[in-house]
Amino acid sequence: TKIFRSLCIEASDGHTTTGLIYTRPELRGRPSIIWLHGGPGMQYYLGWPTDYGSCIHHAFHQLLVQRGYSVLYLNYRGSTGYGVEHQQGNYLKLGVAEPADIAGAARFLSSLPQVSSKRLCVAGRSYGGFAALSALARLPRMLRLGLGCAGVGDLSSSLDESGLDFW
């Protein structure tokens, strides 16, 4: 049995995205975390991350898997490495496009026997924290817990201060 694998996920609006999952197939009905990277112009890939922050989170996620959690790293719309259409899939739709991808990830996880559909969490850092909070607000019946680490809580205020007008 494989503890780690890559996968394709269909979002609730039909868009396809990718992810990496760490899970223990021998367990049943356990909690699960959908983890979102920062950026949004980043991606999760096979192998150990090279930046310090991701290494710390990756090690923590390994501990969670050892304790029986499943962790799904989601390359939501806006992630790099999957073509221009995917990378620009959240332009002018920040906090709107990503929840569809997260809903697809939640449905995928809920289909696994080792995951309890009543114990799903979404979490992320930086932009992933903002996307996690947005998904928690938009998908309250699907997600039970959300965590935004250093995420933006007021996107419009932050964009006004940044001078970025293309988002």
Q: List pLDDT tens digits, range 71-95.
A: 999 988 777 676 677 666 666 666 6
- CB count in 10 Å sphere of residue 155: 16
Residue 127 to residue 39: CA distance in whole angstroms: 5
3-state secondary structure of 79: coil
Phi, psi (5° rounding) for residue 108?
Answer: -60, -50
Q: Which has the minimum average pLDDT: 1-5, 58-62, 81-85, 129-133?
A: 1-5
Phi/psi for 128 (5° steps) reads -60, -30
Residue with token string 């332009």: 91
Q: Residue 15, Cα to own-chain centre: how many angstroms?
A: 15
Residue 160 has pLDDT above 70, yes or no: no
pLDDT tens digit sequence for 91-150: 666 666 788 889 999 999 999 999 999 999 999 988 888 889 988 988 889 999 998 887
**Contact criterion met (CB below 8 Å) for 6 and 107:** no
- What pLDDT shows up at residue 143? 93
pLDDT of residue 119: 94
What is the spatial distance between Cα 56 and Cα 74, in angstroms, rounded to a whole number? 17
Q: Which has the minimum average pLDDT: 3-17, 102-116, 117-131, 151-165?
A: 151-165
Q: Does a cis peptide bond (omega within 30 degrees of 0) precede residue 25?
A: no
Instruction: Please give the residue that has the higher pLDDT: either 104 or 42.
Output: 104
Q: Which of 141, 76, 137 shows the shortest CA–CA distance to 102?
A: 76
Q: Name the 3-class secondary structure at 56.
A: helix
